[in-house]
Amino acid sequence: MAEIGSIGVGPVHTVSSNGGIEPLGSGPLVHWGVRADDRWHIARDERAVRQIVAEDGVSIETRLRIPGGDIVHRANSTPYKNTSLVIVEIENETPLPVAIAFITAGSGIWRCEGNTLFRNNVSVISASKPVSHCQVAATEGELLGVLRLEESQNDAERSQPVKGSHVAIVFPLPHTSSLRLVFWVENKLHSLPNPDDLPNLAGIANGWNAHLDYGSSVELENEGVQKVLFSARRHLLVGCEQPLTSNYWLKGVPAYASALAISSMCLWGHIEAAKRLLTKSIDQYQVSSFQRPEMEYISYLLWACDEFTLHHMDDEVSVPILNWAIDQIGNFVAAVPRSRIRRRIGHSYLRLGLESSVSLLKRSGHFEEAHQLENTLPKIYKNNSISLQSGSLPNALLDEDQSPTPIAKCLNHYLSDTEESGSLSEIIGRAEPTGGFSSSERLQDPFASALFLLMFRRSLVSQPDSSTVALFPGYTAKWFNVSVEVSNMPTTNGEVGYAVRWHGDRPALLWEGKVNSQITFTSPGFDPTWGSNELRGEALLPQQKPDEIAIPLISSPIQKPSINPSKPEKGNNFS
């Protein structure tokens, strides 16, 4: 299961576990089936369906098993004329010919002409081959019944307009052959291109790899971690271009999910994507001095402003963001409760907003205001029952040691509604075979994507203070003898990179920093006593011990219970 889309244009679509495709939140579903020697196999109703990431590393691949082998369905999105189209490729890997049906719904007048299905004279599906059959019915049950009759049609019958709400188009698919289709769901186009005139799936994958090359890169000898990492970054790169009023940001996630996406994109080197989403957030957030701000949302947004301006050195971009944040801080601080509240409700998000306000004031040169606010924080925390040691998400984000463990625990709770610590193995095990994290309302959850990126970044690079950069601080014995390479990772001082190579049971650390101030490199996971002020170098660190018990880094997938992703808004563990 996954969500697919194109950067900068068009809607986001969901790909279900059986290859069904629909716009996120609403719209017609397009699902599929195969006529084999024995019967029709409707993928939605079959158990012999598996889903993975295709060999191109990006497309979502769904395999339907029929007698003789697999029929393979691969899906991705591509931009076209200021919108986004879904491209599907179907391949027959069996030694026998089959028929492929695509089924969709919507009231109107349907007709087929050549390789295109029209609804009310607007093309909705275009194929690389002519349509063989077109069946229209009032209900899906009636449609499937007619489909099983397999009545032949001539060209005149296929092109005859028919009124109905359910339709199926059928194509012959000889053995070892393939079929390409393009879907459309927005009223922006009156005609669809031929799928062969659009980029193939390999070309789309190359485009995604080019986008990711603009950010940081991580190479690990672990396919499971790499897949989840790629999926989370791709998902948020699409989301950063979506309107904040779109289903991407409104469906099934906390209101402040976009703030976590801004920070995670910034910390993974996708500065332009983070800037665009932050700018949209600022433009949309309009609160006058006569209005009370929405405290939780503005707390996270001020934190995102602080994180962005900390890691982005361009004054032309950061100064306007700082000025906007300073204008909001006065109204925000004035709305913070100053007297003791009667009920104990989680308000730890106030700590996130207040401490981000202090940091923003200092960075803007408002030292007196920052000092005054800083002195009042203990009283505010006491009156609002805010603990600095609780397991809330704001406290995890503000953790002084920048440990990944508190964020991992929050992510694990969000995904599983348990109090487990949330090891990397547990979290990767909760991912879908396509690499994304699903929830009860989303096939791929952007809040979980952002939390994972923030947590995993702290495992690879952390900055416990402005003059120290920790390299691979999250190392444990489970990473014994695993090579790691990190490039172009942003810090508050500039970009850093490193590689870990093993000489027997001793890790060799090679590092390089492109920074604008003096820093000390450390590697507490390997050796808490080691440090270097050199901007480039290598060191052979002490002997490491493997796990006493042979447990794989990534365990088998964990059965995910039904959860409610809106829980963070209630203030139990994420407030």
What whole-number distance in Å separates Cα of residue 355 and Cα of residue 171? 61
pLDDT at 548: 67
Residue type, 293: P
Strands across the sheet containing 461-465: 461-465, 468-471, 520-523, 527-532
The pLDDT of residue 222 is: 84
Return the pLDDT at 420.
Answer: 66
Cα separation, 239 vs 250, whole angstroms: 11
Q: Are 445 and 434 in contact (CB under 8 A)?
A: no
Residue 413: the pLDDT is 86
The predicted structure's pLDDT at residue 155: 56
Q: Which helix (H) or strand (E) holds 458?
A: helix 446-460
Selection from 173, 283, 390 nearest residue 275 by Cα: 283
CA 571 to chain centre: 23
Instruction: Please check whether residue 165 is in contact with residue 138, taking contact to mean a CB–CB distance below 8 angstroms.
Output: yes
- The dihedrals phi and psi of 457, each to the nearest 5 degrees, come to -60, -45
SS (H, E, C) 462-524: EEEECCEEEECCCCCHHHCCCCEEEEEEEECCEEEEEEEEEECCEEEEEEEEEECCCCEEEEC
Q: Any idea where the domains of the chain sit in the sequence?
A: 2-206, 209-215+223-447
Q: How far is CA 374 from CA 323, 334, 353, 397, 451, in A?
A: 20, 14, 12, 18, 28
List the beta strands (DSSP E) in 58-115: 60-66, 69-80, 83-92, 98-113
Q: Which two tokens stand for residue 404?
A: 């990944």
Please tell me the pTM assigned to this model: 0.87
CATH number of 2-206: 2.70.98
Beta strands per DSSP E along 226-312: none
Mean pLDDT by 10 residues, the chain (575 residues): 84 90 82 91 91 90 93 92 89 93 89 88 89 87 81 58 85 92 70 87 89 87 89 93 90 92 94 93 72 81 94 82 91 77 66 93 92 90 77 88 89 78 80 90 92 95 90 90 93 92 94 90 94 94 80 49 40 39
